[in-house]
Amino acid sequence: MISQSSIDLVFETSRVEEVIGDFVQLKKAGSNFKGLSPFSDERTPSFMVSPVKQIWKDFSTGKGGNVVAFLMEHEHFTYPEAIKYLAKKYNIEIEETEQTNEQKEAANERESLYLVSEFANDYFQKILHKTDQGKSIGLSYFKERGFTEETIKKFNLGYSLNEWQAFTDEALKKGYNIEYLEKTGLTIVKDDKRFDRFKGRVMFPIKSMSGRVLGFGGRILTNDKKAAKYLNSPESDIYHKSKVLYGIYHAKQSIAKEDNCYLVEGYTDVIQFHQTGIKNVVSSSGTALTPEQIRLINRLTKNITVLFDGDAAGMRASLRGIDLILEQGMNVKVCSFPEGEDPDSFAKQNTLEELTLYLEDNAKDFIQFKASVLFEDSKNDPIKKADTVRDIVNSISKIPDRIKKEIYIQECARIMDISEEVLFSTLAQINKKEFQEENKKYSTEQKAFEVIKHKQPVKKVDVQYILERKIIEILLLYGNKTEDFEDLVLKENDKGELILEPVIHQAKVFEKVFLDLQDDEMEFTNEKFKTLYYTIIDALNQNPEFELKTFINSVRQDMASEITSILMDDEKYHLDNWQRMDIFPKEKQHTVAQLVSETILSLRCFLIDLKVKEFRLETAQNKSDSNRNILEEVKDYSGLKMLLSRKLNRVL
């Protein structure tokens, strides 16, 4: 268990915008930050982070909370793991008591897979650095590749002994369950026999964006023709190769900072680039590029530079991945190395300045690159040239942005020496089927809308829900502020008429709200709001130094989630740049007293309406002489509402 003092220090030190900034590219939006949702596939930002309130809200999925909630949601951490992750990030030493056997057994299966993977990562590193076989074979190989001791340790490179079950025996000896060793793929189980999957291989741990070990890549060092040169962990509950990029953990901050991501093919390409000084580089680990991997990059930048080996056949095969990148609305550049070179060898032979200069000079727009590669084979063959043009236009058709499409068509016409009209015609043919499908879908949606429009009853606005929610928001944002309030004291004038006389007094916002609701005997009807209301009032009453961030971190997760939704709903309007259109929304904190008074008065008016409706229903059902008394009460309530409405500047 982690001590409470350590938890408090972690919350006090961590910054939600810094932590989330490691996973999502955030841009300033007023006092907040905005970015693309990491929980859904979107192209328009709907993800908001508030540094002032230290909370976040994803409007596309409805998720939200504090910094720990983000890590639990995004990285599937348990609460203690999220605290440990933040402690490591901010160099905080945490106090922790030893877990009991019962607590270890209570860990869920997914967590067990992570624990096994972490153990394997430590084990393979230990074998590499501490055993004769590891030093003479594994370490020698890495040093031959030009990797320094610092780089080897930074990427947690390791070695698996060339023995059938050395790792499995050690894991079982340490108390790890064979079931989880098998599910992670570290151990192969056949009948009563057990084998190490990565026997005799150098090991590359594959990490998530937050640094958790998901799986491994292993390279064999012998000339065994029957064995695969590279072997990856099989799919598991924690490792999905189509959703993982090798090196993303070490590259994420540099990708966001440089606003560009270099995409290579292999593990050593990533490591060599990183060691040379270019850190914004990741690899698809030898697998075909997938939409999920592209979206992972898209969270950090809109720009990808694909790096190819000098091998022409390999370049043509890899060009297919570019279309997927274009479909995601990203900007693509392509750079190839001289024949016989790959990113690993080229980075090894050049300084940082030389490598940087080469990439700047040779990175081409994808359309130029694709045309130059394909055109060489087809320039003397009209049929091949026509196929090449169609292939390039097909790539252009994948781009969502119509302006970019037109610019690329113009560029293609110039390079391929063909008229724009022909290319636009070809583009229209390619998109025809897609347009028809979209139109069909649109027509279906329109019909569905028309049915709803005519037959679906309009949902009534729950006024009391909105007002109760607003009261909670006011207490959270301004509860501890002292304001001058204009109270309305109900008096009878000389003519016997009810009038509201204003009286100014100073009070804290939470005291004003509490006393007003208590005086009118107004109760919250929403149970969640009711619980929140009394929890907030209690916290404000007991703590004169009430801080929103501390309060959110102290309540239950379900309450914290509700608070985030209440506080961040207004922020979604800041996703649009209103100032650009000369629209300047009035800030709430400048009129706190007015906001409090109007909200309470609005709730009073609403409750008066309910009471009047109740009296009228009673009058209709009751034909006795008591009706006169009821009508008198209705008259009094109606008069009171009239006075309140005047105060609110509303017309009844």
**CA atoms lying within 13 Å on the CB side of residue 279:** 14
CA dihedral of 105, 106, 107, 110, whole degrees rounded to 10: 100
Q: What percent of the chain has pLDDT over 90?
A: 30
For residues 34 and 26, give the distance between their C-alpha atoms in angstroms, rounded to a whole number: 5
Beta-bridged to residue 484, according to DSSP, are 506
Residues in the chain: 652
Q: Does the structure show a pLDDT above 90 at 260?
A: yes
- C-alpha torsion sign, points 503, 507, 512, 514: negative
End-to-end, the C-alpha distance of the chain in Å comes to 60
208 against 498, higher pLDDT: 208
Weakest-pLDDT range from 286-290, 497-501, 606-610, 633-637: 633-637
Burial class (CB in 10 A: 0-12, 13-18, 19+), 222: exposed
At 267, the pLDDT band (50, 70, 90 cuts) reads very high
Beta-bridged to residue 213, according to DSSP, are 207
Q: Looking at residue 436, what is its pLDDT?
A: 58
CA dihedral of 15, 20, 26, 28, whole degrees rounded to 10: -20
Q: How many beta carbons lie within 10 A of that of residue 624, not counting itself?
A: 8
For residues 399 and 403, give the distance between their C-alpha atoms in angstroms, rounded to a whole number: 10
User: The whole model's pTM is what?
Assistant: 0.69
Q: Looking at residue 312, what is its pLDDT?
A: 57
Q: Are 145 and 210 in contact (CB under 8 A)?
A: no
* Domains assigned to the chain: 4-89 (3.90.580.10), 107-239 (3.90.980.10), 248-427 (3.40.1360.10), 463-647 (no CATH)
Q: Does the structure show a pLDDT above 90 at 398?
A: no
pLDDT digits (tens, 9 = 90+) for 114-124: 999 999 999 99
For residues 533 and 530, give the distance between their C-alpha atoms in angstroms, rounded to a whole number: 5
CB-based contacts of 608, cutoff 8 Å, min separation 6: 637, 640, 641, 644
3 state SS of 51: coil
What DSSP character marks residue 500?
A: E
Amino acid making up residue 379:
K
pLDDT digits (tens, 9 = 90+) for 214-225: 999 999 998 877
At 17, the pLDDT band (50, 70, 90 cuts) reads very high
Query: Structure tokens of 44?
Result: 């328009």
Weakest-pLDDT range from 165-169, 268-272, 436-440: 436-440
Burial class (CB in 10 A: 0-12, 13-18, 19+), 58: buried
3 state SS of 34: strand
Average pLDDT over residues 429-435: 70
Q: Looking at residue 317, what is its pLDDT?
A: 58
What DSSP character marks residue 575?
A: G
Average pLDDT over residues 61-80: 85
Beta-bridged to residue 32, according to DSSP, are 29
- C-alpha torsion sign, points 606, 609, 615, 618: negative
Only one residue has tokens 């009070």, namely 507
**What CA–CA distances, in Å, run from 249 to 59, 167, 466?**
26, 26, 43
Only one residue has tokens 């070695």, namely 159
CB-based contacts of 523, cutoff 8 Å, min separation 6: 517, 530
**What CA–CA distances, in Å, run from 364 to 112, 115, 334?**
46, 44, 5
Q: Does the structure show a pLDDT above 80 at 196?
A: yes
CB-based contacts of 44, cutoff 8 Å, min separation 6: none
For residues 259 and 298, give the distance between their C-alpha atoms in angstroms, rounded to a whole number: 10
Can you list the positions of beta strands (E) in 339-480? Answer: 364-365
Average pLDDT over residues 249-274: 93
**CA atoms lying within 13 Å on the CB side of residue 505:** 10
Alpha helices by DSSP H, 131-159: 132-133, 140-144, 149-154
CB-based contacts of 255, cutoff 8 Å, min separation 6: 261, 280, 282, 297, 300, 301
**CA angle (399 as vertex; 336, 263 as ends), nearest 5:** 30
Q: Are 640 and 498 in contact (CB under 8 A)?
A: yes
For residues 423 and 401, give the distance between their C-alpha atoms in angstroms, rounded to a whole number: 17
3 state SS of 506: strand
Query: Structure tokens of 32?
Result: 């907040």
For residues 151 and 313, give the distance between their C-alpha atoms in angstroms, rounded to a whole number: 32
* Strand-strand pairing, 331-336 and 201-207: unpaired
CB-based contacts of 38, cutoff 8 Å, min separation 6: 23, 24, 47, 58, 74, 299
pLDDT digits (tens, 9 = 90+) for 346-358: 999 999 999 999 9
At 582, the pLDDT band (50, 70, 90 cuts) reads very low
CA dihedral of 307, 328, 286, 75, whole degrees rounded to 10: 120
Q: What is the CA radius of gyration of the chain?
A: 33
For residues 473 and 440, give the distance between their C-alpha atoms in angstroms, rounded to a whole number: 44
Q: Are 246 and 206 in contact (CB under 8 A)?
A: yes
